[in-house]
Structure 1
Amino acid sequence: MPTHTRVHARGSSQAGRAVALVADVMAFVIALWILLYMLDANQGNGLVDFIHDAAGWLAGWSYDLFTFSREWVQVVVGHGIAAVTYLLIGHAVAGWLYRR
């Protein structure tokens, strides 16, 4: 394998890992908020408030996609859609970068 091809492959692999890591972190933040919500974490706590704000920002596009009468279902589905979407798209892009 020529040197320039090996360098390009290594760069694509590193980019793929970076994309997958970002997608994983985004999904983790959202999943952590769902868990904290389900455990009725103290929303006056600074860390809980930060996670809530970050998850709310990340899931802002999906939160009101569907409406449910029970708030906990709204939180799980509204945020869950965003978490799964970030994982699927992030890992699809990462896989594409790995193959380049």
Structure 2
Amino acid sequence: MSSRYSGNQAAVVITILADVAAAILGLWILLYVLGANRGNELVKFVHRSADWLAGWSRDLFILDTDWLRILINYGLAAVVYLALAHVVAGRLRRS
């Protein structure tokens, strides 16, 4: 197990949850940019999950270019989740 997933178990859980959330958001960005079939069940699931995770940032920035809007709004959520998890997990590991 890498050092990222070692130590305090609560810190490990927080880190894994943030990684999963960021992966889902990143996957939706990739599927959108590559033009994945939105009728596909997997694509629908990833899109719904990403919408839920990025509910607070989904329309934070309104841009004319659709792919850039998706990248910034969903990418922002992924970065925030990872940053917050890193800070919280670091504090838990020190305590």
The TM-score normalised by the length of structure 2 is: 0.90
1:4-56: CA deviation from partner (whole Å, max 9, x where unpaired): xxxxxxxx701000100001100100000000111101111101100000001
| Larger helix percent | 1
Per the TM alignment, residue 64 of structure 1 is displaced from its structure 2 partner at its CA by 1.2
Alignment partner, residue 24 of structure 1:
19
Alignment partner, residue 41 of structure 2:
46
Distance in 1 (CA, whole Å) between partners of 2:22 and 2:33 is 16
Question: Any residues of structure 2 matched to 1:68-83 within 5 Å, and which?
Answer: 68-83=63-78
Identity between Structure 1 and Structure 2 (%)? 49
Query: Gaps spanning 5+ residues in structure 2: where?
Result: 1-6
Distance in 1 (CA, whole Å) between partners of 2:36 and 2:89 is 34
Query: Gaps spanning 5+ residues in structure 1: where?
Result: 1-11
The TM-score normalised by the length of structure 1 is: 0.86
Alignment partner, residue 82 of structure 2:
87
- Count of aligned residue pairs for this structure pair: 89
Alignment partner, residue 3 of structure 1:
none
Cα RMSD for the two superposed structures: 0.9
